[in-house]
C-alpha cells in the first residue's frame, strides 16, 4: 500500500467510542511508581522500520552514540549493518529508494534547511545529494518504479519558492523540470511520476493548475479563497483527468470526492462524516484500488472501500486486540509483506511483521520495552462548552490510582494553532500524570478537523476567543471538582507557548506556574521573521492572525504578551532553540528582557544546537527535569491579586 506522505505513517486507528461529557471515573488501580525522565524521553531501541521493495531487507533507526541512525539487516539474518554514523543530531527520516539504496534527510542544529542524502544498504557510497547552503529540500515524488531517480523541490534559485527537479540518487545530477514563476507553492505527479498539477497562490486565493501531459502547458482548473479547499490526493488509476480529492466546496465538513479536472466539476462524493473532516484516502499501488478513508473523532476511524484491506485490519484486531491503534508503516512492492505498528494511549507500541502468503504475524520489536503500560494513565476523550456555546473536544489524563478530586493540573494547549491533539501515547502527558498532575488538552477553536466554520472562527482571535476556550476548559475542571484552583499550571510549545504566555497575561489569577516552549511572544516580530518559504502565504497569515499594517495593529498589540508582562503573577519558565526558523530566538529573548525590566524573575533555557523543539535526547532530559522541578516548586501556592 503506497504511502501518501513520505516520513509519516498511514494512521489507522481502531473504531472509536463516542465522546462524552461525563467526567472520567477513576480506575481502581494502585498509584504508579515514579518513573524516570530518561525512561519517558530517551530514544527507542529500534523504531521506524521499513521493508526494502523486494521484501528481502529490513531497515530501522537505532541509537549510535545516542543518535538515531539507519541500520539494515537481511530479513532472515541476525547480522546487522549500521548504514549511517551521524553523531550531532538524530536523523529526521529515511526511506528505501530501491532495493540497494536508501535516502535520508537531515538538517544542521534544527535550522530545517533539510539536505537529502543517499547511501547504499551496506553503508558505502554515501552522498549529499543537495549540498547547497541555506537551501531546503522537499520530496515531491520518490518515483517508486524508478530505481535511480526521484523528483524533489529546491528553493536554491529563489529562497521564497521551490522549483521541481529530477534528481539522480547515485550521482546527484539535477534536471530542472519547470521554472517556478514565483507563485507556485506545490507540485503533484500522477502514478507514472509525471508532473501534472501545480498549486498557485496570491496569498489568499489558491488555484489548481493542470496539464494532461508534460508536453502541455498548465491551465487553470479552479480558483478559490484559501478557506475553500479542493485537495487532490491522487489520480485515478488510468492517469486521466480525474482525481480523488478532499473537498469542502459547498460543505462545512471536508469529504472525499472524485473530481474531473478537465471539466472542473465534482463527479462523485465517496464519503463524508457528519461530525468531522476526512483526513485522507489510501490506496493499493499493486491492485490499483482505493482502500480506506481516515477520519478522526475522539479517535481515528476508517471507512473501508476495499474488502482485502478491511480483512487485514480485522485480523489485526483479532490477534493483537481491539484496544490498539494500527499503522501500516511499510510494505514490499508485491504487497504481500507488511510492517505494522500496534499501540495505544498507554504504550509507545510495537512493530509486527505480517506475511500475507503464510498468514504469519510476528512480533519484531517494542519501541520502549522499559515502559510498563499498567503504570500509564488513560487518555479520556471529553467535551465541554465554551462561554459562547461552542463545543470543545479534548482529552483528560488523570494520575493512576489517585482520586479525581482537587488535583494539581497542567493545561496543555497544542501548537499550530491550525492542528489538533489526537488520542495516543504522549510521553509528556504520561510523564506529568506519573508525577501526580492531571493533564487537560483541548482542541480550541481553530483546531483542524472539525469543519470549516470551526476553523474560521479562530481568525484574528489569537489571545481572544481562542484563549477563552482554554480558560473555559480550566473553569470546567474546577467546577467538576477535579482541579485544585490554587494549583493550575499551563504549558505548551509553539502556538501552545503563545497560549501559555497569553494565559498568564490575560488571566493572571488563574495560573500558579507556566512553561513556554518555543512560543510566540510578539505578534509583530513573529510576522516579520517567518521563514522565506512562508512568504507566499503572508497575506493569508495577515487574514488569519492580523495585518500589522492596518488597524489590526491595535488588536495585535493588545494580544502580544510581551507588552503585558506587568500583569504576570505566575512563575514562568521559558525554553528555546537558538536555530528555530519558525519562532526565532528573539521571541523568547524579548520576553525575558521585558520581564527582567519589570523586576520579574524568569527561568530561561536556551539550547544552541536545537531548533523548533528539542530533538537531541540529552536536551530533552535537561528540559523535562528542569520543567518538573519548576512545576513542583511553584505549584504549592498561588499568588492572588
Q: What b/e string do you get for 270-306 counting C-beta neighbours within 10 Å, with b at 16 or more?
A: bebbeebbbbbbbbbbeeeebbbbbbbbbbbbbbbbb
Task: State the Cα–Cα distance between residues 114 and 129, nearest whole angstrom.
Answer: 11
Q: How many other C-beta atoms are found inside a 10 Å radius of the C-beta of residue 62?
A: 18
Task: State the Cα–Cα distance between residues 598 and 292, nearest whole angstrom.
Answer: 56
Residue in the block written with cell 466539476: 265
C-alpha to C-alpha distances, 291 to 145, 300, 309, nearest whole angstrom: 20, 16, 6
Question: What are 331's three cell numbers?
Answer: 510494505
| Residue among 150, 44, 451, 141 nearest 277 (CA) | 451
| Residue among 11, 9, 21 nearest 301 (CA) | 11
Task: State the Cα–Cα distance between residues 54 and 301, nearest whole angstrom.
Answer: 31
Task: State the Cα–Cα distance between residues 133 and 100, nearest whole angstrom.
Answer: 28
Q: How many other C-beta atoms are found inside a 10 Å radius of the C-beta of residue 65?
A: 9
Name the residues annotated as catalytic.
Answer: 494, 580, 612
Phi and psi at 293, nearest 5°, equal -120, 135
Cis bond before residue 628 (omega within 30° of 0): no
Residue in the block written with cell 530479513: 75
Phi and psi at 443, nearest 5°, equal -95, 80
Given a contact cutoff of 8 angstroms between Cβ atoms, the answer to whether 57 and 74 are in contact is yes
Angle between helices 495-506 and 465-479 (to 10 degrees): 70
Query: Please, which residues have CB within 8 angstroms of residue 466's CB and are 6 or more apart in sequence?
Result: 417, 444, 445, 446, 458, 499
Task: State the Cα–Cα distance between residues 212 and 263, nearest whole angstrom.
Answer: 12
DSSP string, 128-163: ES---TT--EEEEE--TT-SSEEEEEEEEEETTEEE
Q: What is the DSSP letter of 74?
A: E
Beta-bridged to residue 289, according to DSSP, are: 284
Amino acid at each position: 500500500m503506497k504511502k501518501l506522505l513520505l516520513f509519516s505513517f498511514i494512521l489507522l486507528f481502531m473504531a472509536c467510542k463516542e465522546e462524552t461529557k461525563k467526567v472520567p471515573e477513576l480506575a481502581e488501580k494502585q498509584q504508579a511508581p515514579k518513573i524516570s525522565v530518561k525512561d519517558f524521553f530517551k530514544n527507542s531501541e529500534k523504531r521506524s522500520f521499513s521493508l526494502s521493495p523486494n521484501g528481502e531487507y529490513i531497515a530501522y533507526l537505532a541509537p549510535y552514540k545516542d543518535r538515531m541512525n539507519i541500520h539494515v539487516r537481511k530479513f532472515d539474518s541476525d547480522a546487522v549493518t549500521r548504514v549511517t554514523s551521524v553523531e550531532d543530531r538524530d536523523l529526521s527520516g529515511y526511506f528505501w529508494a530501491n532495493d540497494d539504496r536508501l535516502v535520508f534527510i537531515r538538517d544542521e542544529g534544527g535550522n530545517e534547511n533539510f539536505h537529502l542524502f543517499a547511501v547504499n544498504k551496506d553503508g558505502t557510497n554515501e552522498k549529499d545529494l543537495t549540498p547547497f547552503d541555506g537551501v531546503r529540500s522537499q520530496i515531491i515524488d520518490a518515483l517508486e518504479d524508478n530505481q535511480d531517480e526521484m523528483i524533489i523541490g529546491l528553493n536554491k534559485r529563489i529562497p521564497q519558492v521551490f522549483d521541481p527537479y529530477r534528481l539522480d540518487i547515485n550521482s546527484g545530477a539535477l534536471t530542472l523540470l519547470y521554472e517556478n514563476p514565483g507563485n507556485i507553492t506545490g507540485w503533484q505527479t500522477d502514478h507514472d511520476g509525471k508532473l501534472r498539477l501545480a498549486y498557485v497562490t496570491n496569498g489568499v486565493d489558491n488555484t489548481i493548475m493542470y496539464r494532461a501531459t508534460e508536453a502541455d502547458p498548465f491551465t487553470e482548473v479552479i480558483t478559490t479563497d484559501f478557506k475553500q479547499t479542493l485537495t487532490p490526493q491522487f489520480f485515478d488509476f488510468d492517469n486521466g483527468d480525474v482525481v480523488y480529492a478532499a473537498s469542502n466546496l459547498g460543505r462545512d465538513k471536508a469529504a472525499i470526492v472524485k473530481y474531473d479536472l478537465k471539466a472542473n466539476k465534482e463527479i462523485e462524493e465517496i464519503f463524508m462524516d457528519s461530525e468531522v473532516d476526512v483526513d485522507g484516502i489510501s490506496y493499493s499501488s499493486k491492485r490499483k484500488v482505493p482502500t480506506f478513508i481516515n477520519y478522526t473523532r475522539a479517535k481515528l476511524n476508517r471507512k473501508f472501500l476495499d474488502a482485502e484491506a478491511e480483512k487485514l485490519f480485522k485480523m489485526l484486531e483479532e490477534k493483537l486486540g481491539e484496544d490498539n491503534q494500527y499503522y501500516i508503516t511499510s510494505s514490499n512492492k508485491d504487497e504481500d509483506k507488511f510492517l505494522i505498528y500496534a499501540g495505544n494511549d498507554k504504550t509507545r507500541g510495537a512493530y509486527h511483521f505480517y506475511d500475507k502468503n503464510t498468514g504469519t504475524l510476528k512480533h519484531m520489536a517494542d519501541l520502549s520495552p522499559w515502559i510498563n503500560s499498567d503504570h500509564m494513565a488513560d487518555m479520556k476523550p471529553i467535551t465541554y462548552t465554551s462561554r459562547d456555546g461552542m463545543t470543545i473536544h479534548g482529552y483528560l489524563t488523570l494520575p493512576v490510582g489517585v482520586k479525581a478530586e482537587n488535583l494539581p493540573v497542567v493545561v496543555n494547549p497544542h501548537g499550530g494553532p491550525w492542528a489538533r491533539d489526537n488520542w495516543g501515547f504522549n510521553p509528556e502527558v504520561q510523564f506529568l500524570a506519573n508525577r501526580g498532575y492531571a493533564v487537560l488538552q483541548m482542541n480550541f477553536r481553530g483546531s483542524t478537523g472539525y469543519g470549516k466554520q470551526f476553523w474560521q472562527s479562530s481568525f484574528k482571535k489569537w489571545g481572544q476567543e481562542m484563549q477563552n476556550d482554554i480558560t473555559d476548559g480550566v473553569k470546567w475542571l474546577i467546577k467538576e471538582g477535579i482541579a485544585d484552583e490554587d494549583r493550575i499550571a499551563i504549558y505548551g510549545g509553539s502556538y501552545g507557548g503563545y497560549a501559555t504566555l497569553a494565559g498568564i497575561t490575560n488571566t493572571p489569577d488563574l495560573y500558579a506556574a507556566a512553561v513556554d516552549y518555543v512560543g510566540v511572544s510578539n505578534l509583530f516580530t513573529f510576522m516579520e521573521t517567518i521563514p522565506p518559504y512562508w512568504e507566499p502565504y503572508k497575506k493569508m497569515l495577515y487574514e488569519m492572525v492580523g495585518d500589522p499594517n492596518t488597524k489590526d495593529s491595535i488588536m495585535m498589540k493588545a494580544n502580544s504578551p510581551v507588552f503585558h508582562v506587568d500583569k504576570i503573577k505566575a512563575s514562568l519558565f521559558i525554553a528555546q532553540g537558538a536555530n528555530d526558523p519558525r519562532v526565532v530566538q528573539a521571541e523568547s529573548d524579548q520576553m525575558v528582557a521585558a520581564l527582567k525590566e519589570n523586576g520579574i524573575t524568569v527561568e530561561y533555557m536556551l539550547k544552541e544546537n536545537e531548533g523548533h523543539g528539542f530533538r537531541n535526547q540529552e536536551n530533552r532530559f535537561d528540559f523535562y527535569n528542569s520543567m518538573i522541578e519548576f512545576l513542583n516548586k511553584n505549584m504549592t501556592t498561588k499568588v492572588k491579586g
